[in-house]
Structure 1
């Protein structure tokens, strides 16, 4: 095959590819030349479809159209002048530039030398064949339609977007209005013949769309009550008139021929547009019904003393708010004792109803959760009425429910008595002398066991003195509320006092549960007390395990492990579940018998004393014990001085009102100037001399120092002990340091109060410091026990490493178990309580928006 034949054959095969490439070049040329034209056309079409001609005046519409046509013609002329029709050579050049070695140009070339040389011709033919093979791989070149360098602001994209919006939300039929605009018929039409337009906009809370009145069929027209009707009359004024009876307007009414009219439909009636092309409708309003709210269950008390009241709400659109009003039912109050006096005037309790955070509010069920334990009406007869309000301002009420206001119950007799005195004081200020008399009787010469802690006794006497002082000068509402808060804190300490001994806490939980069984407590109280018994039992078993495990490992005495009774955790759990089940079924006698069996079983478990702490741990514990003793002495002396302020003629330690905790006269050692804690008859004498060197020195110096200076010195001593505290790095050690830090802050507050001669506040702060010191000593003891356990190692087999319940100690000692965490009903109850608390807090409008958003995200997730 000759060179010319090879070239022609290859170029013929490229005919289709060259044609497509040439069309692409034509598309590039047209796009770059005429893109302003179609951009203007797209924008104008979008404006017409969206109704711009109906809104703009005729003159402005005609001027805008003229400018658009003029601009389009000018850009079209510029594009025609710049446009060049692409030739075949242009297509060949574009395609050849994309192929390696420019094979198309090579096929069209002729050799300059060697035409008669057979060798040269053979080489040229091989070159032509290779180029022909490369052209076989040629593909049509896509056109480059990018216009970014011609349209840097993206006007073509804006016009295209407007056109799409017009197609979706406008009307293509309105494009025909351009013909009227061009001929001037639009203006003449308005002048020659009147026309009108109307819209009906329902209230926003209905969620219904706006209606175009021109599209509504003549006859009955049903719309929502409160809809706004807007009418526009075009043409000569007076050619069209509006007559309506749906607004119920009275007084000064605008003219029926007003070009633009707007009114609200408030009643059924007629709407008529008179004149050319008149129309008439009979308007029927859809009434907005008032919301309905109903209480769906009985009011109950949660485990924390909160009232729970389920309710449901219905409305045709949505509910925007609601209120629960609680009023005292004075006619059904048992008017005895402190309730005999006429009550002080109090406003009803108004609590906002919780609403769904998300979702439909036209029909929902919710639970009102509020804590009224501190209110004076707690446990008294009240009436509850729920009110719901919709977006239209209408209200609906539930039936009035008479109940005893649910609140926290107090089972400790002394705590219950304090709460009753608090209620009487809030009921009427006339009860203040009677409350003071009862409190004086409670705290006068108390027998052993009434006050479990001396701080409770001191707080009682301090509150009594403040009450008597306020009574002498007149009890104001602010002072009354202040005393009520102090009585509430005292009752909580008496009921839920911070017990340092796990066995004492267990016994108290059992006693409170037995008391609740005798008094016929509610199911929620039974559930709360059972949960408290479970937790106290767990704490007691951990204490047993911590004291027993090291002694058995050191002595190697396997006989004790063989002879001791072991219980499985499931057995103990089943026993407590059985007790709760019997109480919920009302079989109190059987439940009490089962509780006594559980109590005897736990009491019979042997508690052996583990190895004593030594070295640095012993010194730290002894130092904290001395600090606690010194703090107790300062508190006793501050209380003595508070008493002497009200009885200045009494001698120190011999005042008739200055009775010690056990009822003796001035038995606290602080009264004698030693600064120590009051010594009971059963306390060993050696305990008071354990740290005789330091304590004696401080006792000698304390005679020349005021109470504030002594409190400051004690705070500095605590700081020194905290710097040398062992057990760092462990959770228990960190807890001990945190508790001691709280003790130091309370000591600072006590020092400031002492220097200001505010003895009542100082006594409160000193009591907080002593509580925190006891917490720190307990946590430090646990930390030291954990360190001793880890240092001795685990030398016994895993099957022998058991606590008194037969549970595996695990890698942490006393708290381990072979199974996973406790599962069952209690877990779901706790989860429900947490969810209710999150829902309640999320519904409180006074909380910060950031916190409520976080709570809403929690509810959405769980």
Structure 2
């Protein structure tokens, strides 16, 4: 049967391969073990006796493996190949064809069945295929010796050469190694590592000019008869210790331009140009700036051809420019210059960059004194560049409270010289002689008396460095407490803020100081208003206002905020006289103020204001729910990840319980009977005392936001938020204009996104749910912005608003802040143009956050779902 010839032949060849592998695997194992050391050149380094001993052992091992394999090798026959092919097919059809009928011969029916069976078997043989050989010998080599030998051989191929095996013949014949093609050479030039330049293989460089960085290392190797090749060079500048020009290996450094040549057969010559390493440069690009807290910011730029390695800023006391008065009359104690490390870019190119030196040196002895500042940078070759010394007043914290300023002055004098201690003691005693009106509480007075007693003890036993540092720190703490310390009540803090602002008006203050002082005034005003509201008692008319004798003024928080905004604007424009007049008006208003305890101090809310407030709460609840979903996603793939150091705190993780606390007017489970409110009632009956939601909100507790004791699933909470948003959308006031239509469409889109998030949460797809929640929050913010614009356009349509439109006017809501601490308006716009940090701080913080997101997205051990989410965050930047 011709169709069986090919499968049988291929199978037989495979069987022969099986025999070869099983019989001769020790032979090639020994061969690999012999070849590996020969290819590595061990024979050239071993003593002759050791070489001959190893050679005899190797030959004997090779012959033994050859004989062992030859005795076990057997060529398989064709019959064995046929049997293997037949055994691989079901029913062994080849053997069936060769069989003869044993029973039923002569019976026509039986013979017909037999012929049919033989025909079927013959047809089955057409599907015969070659049988794959079994080349495994693991049962014969349980220790894997063949793999060890193969590893040695491959290593020798990588790090050795087959040509080295030829040296065995030279050792056996006793001849000397010779080069068939005459003497040869090879060489390399390795530039300094800091240049980032690659190594140069001189054999591949043609004759002619060669430009390399100064300081590059040259290595040359000469092969062949000694003296056949020599090296001539003028680039190293070596004098004295110069080896023979024919040394087999030479190494030297390029320090100057010159020539380099290999003389002799196949020689070559280059004109080498040494590229000098240019020194770095550094420059102050602007004047030093400081904020109200004393943090300085000095911009600078630095350049270098290969990159700046490090830099310092040296600040030294400019004694000639010091006003030698009072405690500065005597000579100062030895004061070492202050050395600060300049910030370097963490990533990117350091050959040309701009940075800011940012430090707070308010507590340093040089603060607020004339100094000289000098910047210096160093490159990798230790070349240094410096800026000219810049004369300036080292910024420090400014104190506006007179007593605090006096304490800080005594602290400065003590740091100037220990010899000032008796004088400081006398001044502090004079300050504490009549403490009435100077100290806001007993704590600060007792602190001052403690400092005086310590100075008395040191005057008796002497003041050392530790004692000086102790008194200096105590004086600083006292000044801080006097300047920013706890006041008896909110009214005292308000007056204090007004006095500090008036002092700043008289003395002239920077924009940063004005912004900080105005923020302090706003906070003090809010605290004072809150205190009045808490202490107010209901009048006889049943209102929440206390009867006040004499003239009184009723004003809203928006009016106060507008007045303070105007004061800040005038101060920034330098119109201090007008700002002072407004400050006096503000003082009179605060003296005669009557507080209404409605929402935000503005009385009953309009429907538009209530809608804005409800939507703002829904937005916060959606943000909290999205944070919970993201934390669950992290916990699902990284258990315990949220508690690791460096994990950024998600919004809502801290203070969430305080935000979710049930306010008066809201129902909590099990408390319906206390307030007389059943589910389904309005839920706004306590609006004068807090923020109330409707009956549905009361049942759900802050729109289903998860908090302490809320065990509902994320999907249930999302459903509750969607239902609440639907109720709020249906209850929007009737507003004309395009802005109102856009607001309703945006809320409808937010509701649809919430429905998608709910479906994803029920299916367990947290990543998809987070995306849909983000869409819902964007739509909510857009709807709130448009609703605020529509309310502003329809001011007369809102009854009861009067001359001021409250929140609809677009003014920021007092005390309401976005996550960055900026004022947040009722239009849903998170943040304003107000900068809480300097622009450099904002950019640096943004760069840190972006770098953290990039780092996490590149970590391969993080789940793909989380990495995909982080990549989508990066796409937004």
Q: Which residue is equivalent to 2:214?
A: 225
After superposition, the Cα gap between the structure-2 partners of 1:308 and 1:115, relative to the gap in structure 1 and judged at 3 Å, is: farther
Tell me the SS of whatever aligns to 1:189.
coil
Deviations 1:113-161 (Å, cap 9, x if unpaired)? 2233345445556655776787677665544454545565667667777
User: Structure 1 CA distance, aligned partners of 2:386 and 2:102?
Assistant: 108
Q: CA deviation at 1:224?
A: 1.8
Structure 2 counterparts to residues 85-96 of structure 1, below 5 A: 85-96=75-86
Q: CA deviation at 1:214?
A: 3.2
Tell me the SS of whatever aligns to 2:177.
helix
User: Structure 2 CA distance, aligned partners of 1:139 and 1:577?
Assistant: 94
Q: CA deviation at 1:95?
A: 4.6
After superposition, the Cα gap between the structure-2 partners of 1:197 and 1:382, relative to the gap in structure 1 and judged at 3 Å, is: same
User: Structure 1 CA distance, aligned partners of 2:115 and 2:573?
Assistant: 109
Deviations 1:788-809 (Å, cap 9, x if unpaired)? 9977659584556557998989
Q: CA deviation at 1:413?
A: 1.7
User: Structure 1 CA distance, aligned partners of 2:676 and 2:302?
Assistant: 62
Q: CA deviation at 1:459?
A: 0.9
Q: CA deviation at 1:488?
A: 0.8
User: Structure 2 CA distance, aligned partners of 1:162 and 1:474?
Assistant: 77
Asked if structure 2 preserves the Cα contact closer than 8 Å seen for 1:328 and 1:348, the reply is yes
Q: CA deviation at 1:195?
A: 4.0
User: Structure 2 CA distance, aligned partners of 1:55 and 1:229?
Assistant: 30
Q: Which residue is equivalent to 1:829?
A: 837
Is 1:245 matched with 2:267?
no
User: Structure 2 CA distance, aligned partners of 1:102 and 1:119?
Assistant: 24
User: Structure 2 CA distance, aligned partners of 1:57 and 1:256?
Assistant: 26
After superposition, the Cα gap between the structure-2 partners of 1:823 and 1:67, relative to the gap in structure 1 and judged at 3 Å, is: farther
Please list every run of 5 or more consecutive structure 2 residues that lacks an aligned counterpart in the other structure: 547-551, 599-657, 704-813, 818-825, 849-869
User: Structure 1 CA distance, aligned partners of 2:288 and 2:241?
Assistant: 54
Q: Which residue is equivalent to 1:422?
A: 411
Is 1:305 matched with 2:294?
yes
Is 1:286 matched with 2:294?
no
Q: CA deviation at 1:492?
A: 1.3
User: Structure 2 CA distance, aligned partners of 1:303 and 1:825?
Assistant: 20
Deviations 1:720-763 (Å, cap 9, x if unpaired)? xxxxxxxxxxxxxxxxxxxxxxxxxxxxxxxxxxxxxxxxxxxx
Q: Which residue is equivalent to 2:344?
A: 355
Tell me the SS of whatever aligns to 1:309.
strand
Structure 2 counterparts to residues 368-767 of structure 1, below 5 A: 368-448=357-437, 450-499=438-487, 501-533=489-521, 535-536=523-524, 583-589=571-577, 604=593, 606=595
After superposition, the Cα gap between the structure-2 partners of 1:53 and 1:793, relative to the gap in structure 1 and judged at 3 Å, is: farther
Asked if structure 2 preserves the Cα contact closer than 8 Å seen for 1:566 and 1:806, the reply is no
User: Structure 1 CA distance, aligned partners of 2:10 and 2:524?
Assistant: 89
Tell me the SS of whatever aligns to 1:431.
helix
After superposition, the Cα gap between the structure-2 partners of 1:444 and 1:274, relative to the gap in structure 1 and judged at 3 Å, is: same
User: Structure 1 CA distance, aligned partners of 2:35 and 2:181?
Assistant: 27
TM-score (norm 1): 0.62
After superposition, the Cα gap between the structure-2 partners of 1:512 and 1:179, relative to the gap in structure 1 and judged at 3 Å, is: same
After superposition, the Cα gap between the structure-2 partners of 1:155 and 1:214, relative to the gap in structure 1 and judged at 3 Å, is: farther
Deviations 1:252-274 (Å, cap 9, x if unpaired)? 44343443332222222233434
Structure 2 counterparts to residues 2-401 of structure 1, below 5 A: 21-22=11-12, 24-25=14-15, 28-32=18-22, 82-100=72-90, 102=92, 105-106=95-96, 108-121=98-111, 124=114, 141-146=131-136, 148-149=138-139, 187-189=176-178, 194-302=183-291, 304-401=293-390
Kindly indicate whether structure 1 or structure 2 has the higher relative contact order, using CA contacts under 8 Å at least 6 residues apart. Answer: 1
Tell me the SS of whatever aligns to 1:375.
coil
Q: CA deviation at 1:82?
A: 4.4
User: Structure 2 CA distance, aligned partners of 1:474 and 1:437?
Assistant: 16
Q: Which moved more, 1:23-32 or 1:174-183?
A: 174-183
Q: CA deviation at 1:438?
A: 2.1
Which structure has more helix as a fraction of its residues?
1
Deviations 1:285-339 (Å, cap 9, x if unpaired)? 1111122222223322246432222222222223222211001122322333322
User: Structure 1 CA distance, aligned partners of 2:351 and 2:586?
Assistant: 51
Q: CA deviation at 1:237?
A: 4.2
Tell me the SS of whatever aligns to 1:188.
coil
Q: CA deviation at 1:379?
A: 1.4
After superposition, the Cα gap between the structure-2 partners of 1:576 and 1:251, relative to the gap in structure 1 and judged at 3 Å, is: farther
User: Structure 1 CA distance, aligned partners of 2:676 and 2:297?
Assistant: 50
Asked if structure 1 preserves the Cα contact closer than 8 Å seen for 2:188 and 2:201, the reply is yes
User: Structure 2 CA distance, aligned partners of 1:339 and 1:319?
Assistant: 40
User: Structure 2 CA distance, aligned partners of 1:55 and 1:364?
Assistant: 57
Q: Which moved more, 1:156-165 or 1:22-31?
A: 156-165
Asked if structure 1 preserves the Cα contact closer than 8 Å seen for 2:236 and 2:253, the reply is yes
Asked if structure 2 preserves the Cα contact closer than 8 Å seen for 1:541 and 1:804, the reply is no
Tell me the SS of whatever aligns to 2:310.
strand
Q: CA deviation at 1:389?
A: 1.2
**Cα RMSD between the aligned structures?**
5.3
User: Structure 2 CA distance, aligned partners of 1:819 and 1:101?
Assistant: 85
Asked if structure 1 preserves the Cα contact closer than 8 Å seen for 2:231 and 2:245, the reply is yes
User: Structure 2 CA distance, aligned partners of 1:219 and 1:330?
Assistant: 60
User: Structure 2 CA distance, aligned partners of 1:289 and 1:281?
Assistant: 24
Tell me the SS of whatever aligns to 2:102.
coil
Q: CA deviation at 1:243?
A: 3.3
After superposition, the Cα gap between the structure-2 partners of 1:57 and 1:235, relative to the gap in structure 1 and judged at 3 Å, is: farther
Tell me the SS of whatever aligns to 1:438.
helix
Asked if structure 1 preserves the Cα contact closer than 8 Å seen for 2:187 and 2:201, the reply is yes
Q: Which residue is equivalent to 2:778?
A: none
After superposition, the Cα gap between the structure-2 partners of 1:540 and 1:336, relative to the gap in structure 1 and judged at 3 Å, is: same
After superposition, the Cα gap between the structure-2 partners of 1:118 and 1:226, relative to the gap in structure 1 and judged at 3 Å, is: same
User: Structure 1 CA distance, aligned partners of 2:47 and 2:458?
Assistant: 85
How many residue pairs get aligned? The number is 653
Deviations 1:707-729 (Å, cap 9, x if unpaired)? xxxxxxxxxxxxxxxxxxxxxxx
Tell me the SS of whatever aligns to 1:354.
coil
Q: CA deviation at 1:515?
A: 2.9
Q: CA deviation at 1:513?
A: 3.7
Deviations 1:369-420 (Å, cap 9, x if unpaired)? 2221111211122121111111211111123332211222222221111111
After superposition, the Cα gap between the structure-2 partners of 1:142 and 1:182, relative to the gap in structure 1 and judged at 3 Å, is: same
Asked if structure 1 preserves the Cα contact closer than 8 Å seen for 2:191 and 2:199, the reply is yes
Q: Which moved more, 1:26-35 or 1:156-165?
A: 156-165
Tell me the SS of whatever aligns to 2:349.
coil
